[in-house]
Structure 1
Amino acid sequence: MSTAAIDLREGDVRDLDRVDRLMAEAFDPRWGEAWTRNQVIGILSVPGVWLTIAELNGRAVGFALVRGVLDEAELLLLAVIPNARRKGVGAALLRSVVTDCAMRGIASLHLEVRDGNEAIKLYRNSGFSKVGERRDYYRGPNGQSYAALTLRRPTR
């Protein structure tokens, strides 16, 4: 883990250029996991949605996008650029999301991730466990299919 300070702050539509850049750097385009700018704009206008920006040494290096409804939330996107990975940024974002959920009265946090995604280790280390699977949900660049794993963790 890095000794550099990871700063987290609430994001909003003024961060769209940062979010676009972070998605372009963080998500491999072969998988189609990045959202379009219009998708991000659309979801940010929905009640119960929040964006957290992570900065390392004053530079935006990651973000989390979450939607809460009643006592459940879904981590819609978590992105950390490659040169900031394994420095605690993803873990800090997840801790922040869990804390935000608890403060909002949300009891459980869900997410969906492609089987084989290296982020699964981070999620498991952060208290998530598998609760479901959608077989053949994702298509890889070589046409191979991958399951979508549904993970969950309590927030309290």
Structure 2
Amino acid sequence: MATRTVTLRTGDTRDVATVDALMTAAFDPRFGEAWTRSQCLGAMAMPGVRLTIAQIDDVPAGFALVRTVADEAELLLLAVAPPYRRRGVAGALLRAVIAEAGGAGIADLHLEVRAGNEAVRLYEQNGFAKVGERRGYYRGRNGETFDAHTYRRAL
């Protein structure tokens, strides 16, 4: 299958159903990483929060949710639906987040990711370095806990 062009657009609270569907598809409930719809709406209503939707052929393929406070930003969520993985969607979203933050004068970009998540490779390839760990941060559907690793990238 040929790789199609990834297009990005700014999202808002009207896209919460899209975000919810992408999270349901992207995040295995076994790990407890997905947010609820109300958590997403609450975050999107906060000052300094930006939602970017990635599309392929006008079909939502992924999203990134970022919060900026003072001279720091945090990548709150990045998700790509399984049929669109390994097609450049996550990379396009991450590069857009980095470029936007850098253009806004942000000094540091932070994120956290579940230990063992394959996305770590993408983050490290894009200049993020592990700076911390939160033991038992994620709680899966069966009560099992998973560590979170925190990463930072200076801009």
Return the TM-score normalized by structure 1: 0.92
Letter in 2 for 1:132: G
Cα separation, 1, equivalents of 2:144 and 2:20: 27
Q: Mean Cα displacement is larger for which, 47-56 or 125-134?
A: 125-134
Map of 2:129 onto structure 1: 129
1:148 aligns with 2:148: yes
Map of 2:114 onto structure 1: 114
Indicate the RMSD between aligned Cα atoms, in angstroms: 1.5
Cα separation, 2, equivalents of 1:29 and 1:70: 33
Cα separation, 1, equivalents of 2:54 and 2:145: 32
> How far apart are 1:45 and its partner, in Å?
1.0
Cα separation, 1, equivalents of 2:100 and 2:72: 12
- Cα deviations by residue, 1:27-69 (Å, 9 ceiling, x for unpaired): 1111121111111111111110000000012100100000000
> How far apart are 1:125 and its partner, in Å?
1.1
User: Contact 2:32–2:141 at 8 Å: present in 1 too?
Assistant: no
1:87 aligns with 2:87: yes
User: Contact 2:22–2:80 at 8 Å: present in 1 too?
Assistant: yes
1:67 aligns with 2:67: yes
Map of 1:103 onto structure 2: 103
User: Which structure 1 segments of 5+ residues have no match?
Assistant: none
User: Which structure 2 segments of 5+ residues have no match?
Assistant: none
> How far apart are 1:146 and its partner, in Å?
3.1
Cα separation, 2, equivalents of 1:84 and 1:64: 14
Aligned length, in residue pairs = 154
4+ long deviations beyond 6 Å: none
